[in-house]
Amino acid sequence: MPTFLIDNNLPYYFSLWKTSEFVFQRDLHSRAPDTFIWKFAEENGLTIVTKYRDYSDRMLLVSPPPRVIRFMTGNLRMRAFHALVTENWPHIAELSQTHKLVYVFHDRIEGIE
């Protein structure tokens, strides 16, 4: 059963995300509005993984589910982004279990309760 919903604005081909823990918006409905994605994640207890501000802003106003992991890394090259995600994913995933919102920057990770 999936735990994380990967938004369209993140890479689809990361091997790290090619397990049963992850579902991709692209595979559900590539052009679904944010409200559809939010409701789907909420109904299925998924954490939304995104670069989109809309989800993190919305998360600040409500209680989980869903939870949100937001990458705020700017325009990193794909290799650098992949390295950042691969190196830090265990910590990011763990933090998302206890925080409703996790911000991932290129130099730090912050959890918001």
> What are the φ and ψ backbone dihedral angles of 19, each rounded to 5 degrees?
-130, 175
Say what the pTM is.
Answer: 0.93
30-49 per-position pLDDT tens digit: 788 888 999 999 999 999 99
In sequence order, the β-bridge partners of residue 35 are none
Q: What is the pLDDT of residue 113?
A: 85
Q: What is the pLDDT of residue 25?
A: 93
Q: What is the pLDDT of residue 45?
A: 94
> CB–CB of 102/69 below 8 Å?
yes
Using a pLDDT cut of 70, give the percent of the chain over it: 100
**CA 106/CA 86 separation, integer angstroms:** 13
> CB–CB of 2/28 below 8 Å?
no
Q: Reply yes or no on whether the pLDDT at 108 is more than 80.
A: yes
56-87 per-position pLDDT tens digit: 888 888 887 899 999 999 888 999 999 999 99
Distance (Å) of CA 101 to CA 16, 78, 93, 104: 21, 24, 11, 10
